[in-house]
Amino acid sequence: MPAIVHEVRLTSWHPVDKMTRHGRTVGHEFTIEIDLEDIRDCTLEWWEKTNVPYCEGMDANTWTDMFALQPTSEVFAPWAFQQRHVRLGRTQFAIIDPPGIIADTTRARDLFFDIRVRAAHTYHRVRTHQRLILTPGAQRGEIIELLVLENDVPSTGNGPPTW
């Protein structure tokens, strides 16, 4: 049976503002639910673009495939598990992406996501834009928004996003 992507959908998101061992972390945690057949013939592309890069290998204002850059990240563990353990047939699972910015700057940060699950030359995608304006040391008052631009849109083509 050929690989088929039935759905890639952002199903939940909420703002997060918490202390971690790295400092105060802010942003959005969101859940991407994936429904497909024959995951071993599918690929995940997790494109991100930001004006405030947060890891080595990511350049400002340039699309980066985070799955290609960091395939062993905990964020992508559900995908890796499914690829290793699921037999042929239909499978449904979720990837949860936690916020990753430490609130140590007053710069505004724009973060764009273009998340794709590909089977052959077609894919389903989710596109979002996250905007953060941070105030170091403040208890609250940051402007935090997540705009969902497209949700579960079938598409074609290759390469990084062009938007």
* pLDDT on residue 116: 97
Q: What is the pLDDT of residues 118-135, one digit of tens each?
A: 998 889 999 999 888 766
| pLDDT above 90: percentage of residues in the chain | 56
pTM given for the model:
0.89
Q: Is the pLDDT of residue 141 over 90?
A: no
Pairing of strands 108-119, 42-50: antiparallel
* Triad 96, 100, 106: Cα angle to 5°: 145
* pLDDT on residue 30: 92
- Residue 40 vs residue 121, higher pLDDT: 40
* pLDDT on residue 103: 62
Q: Nearest Cα to 47, choosing from 160, 162, 163?
A: 160
Say if CB 67 and CB 44 are below 8 A apart: yes
Q: Which two tokens stand for residue 148?
A: 């969902």
